[in-house]
């Protein structure tokens, strides 16, 4: 019983459960290599920041939210808009293409069943605003951000240490 209580107390403290799994397995450079074409796809850095923040919000990743806000504050374009990402649907400060990307982000991140997947109507808007290369990058980015947030939440990562 004492051991169980000690373990419980350890879990309740804000400390990482382990090193970042990507570093443990030595695949952080492969992840960085995978991300590079996404950043060079033509999608703006600002939009990727909004998407990454929205994934972090949905998945309750405090580290991801904090990192997105920290990076956004260094960028004059995102600084004034980043705090509104949570309410993107109701605000005119986001363009139609940004709103489409954020909607796609929510649908992919919350993917609960095949019946609640990306609708044809949403996909047509995605095609309207993004080239095939940009669509590929956006889907890969959303998927990667979901992987990162889930790793961070599961292991209680406290720093953005991906190598």
What digits encode the pLDDT tens for the residues 82-131?
889 989 998 999 999 999 999 999 999 998 766 668 999 999 999 999 99
The residue that leads in pLDDT, 141 or 161, is: 141
* Model pLDDT, residue 36: 97
Tell me if 142 sits within 8 A of 104, measured CB to CB. yes
pTM metric for this prediction: 0.85
* Model pLDDT, residue 43: 97
Rounded CA separation 110/40 (Å): 26
* Model pLDDT, residue 5: 41
Cα dihedral 140, 121, 49, 54 in deg (nearest 10): -100
Per-domain boundaries in the chain: 43-155
Rounded CA separation 78/82 (Å): 6
Tell me if 118 sits within 8 A of 110, measured CB to CB. no
**Which whole-number Å values give the CA distances from 54 to 6, 7, 16, 23, 116, in the listed order?**
35, 32, 23, 25, 18
* Model pLDDT, residue 74: 83
Which CATH homologous superfamily contains domain 43-155? AhpD-like (1.20.1290.10)
**Which whole-number Å values give the CA distances from 150 to 64, 130, 142, 153, 155, in the listed order?**
10, 27, 12, 5, 8
Interval 30-76: pLDDT, tens: 999 999 999 999 999 999 999 999 999 999 998 888 888 888 788 87
Apex 106 CA angle, 81 and 96, nearest 5: 50
Rounded CA separation 125/154 (Å): 34
């Amino acid at each position: 019983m004492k051991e169980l209580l000690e373990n419980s107390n350890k879990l309740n403290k804000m400390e990482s459960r382990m090193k970042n799994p990507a570093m443990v397995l030595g695949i952080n450079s492969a992840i960085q290599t995978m991300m590079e074409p996404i950043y060079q796809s033509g999608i703006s850095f600002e939009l990727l920041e909004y998407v990454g923040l929205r994934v972090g919000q949905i998945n309750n990743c405090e580290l991801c939210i904090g990192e997105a806000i920290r990076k956004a504050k260094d960028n004059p374009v995102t600084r004034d808009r980043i705090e509104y990402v949570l309410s993107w649907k109701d605000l005119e400060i986001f363009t139609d293409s940004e709103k489409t990307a954020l909607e796609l982000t929510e649908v992919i991140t919350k993917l609960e069943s095949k019946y609640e997947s990306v609708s044809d109507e949403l996909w047509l808007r995605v095609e309207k605003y993004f080239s095939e290369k940009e669509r590929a990058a956006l889907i890969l980015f959303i998927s990667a951000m979901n992987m990162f947030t889930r790793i961070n939440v599961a292991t209680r990562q406290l720093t953005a240490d991906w190598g």
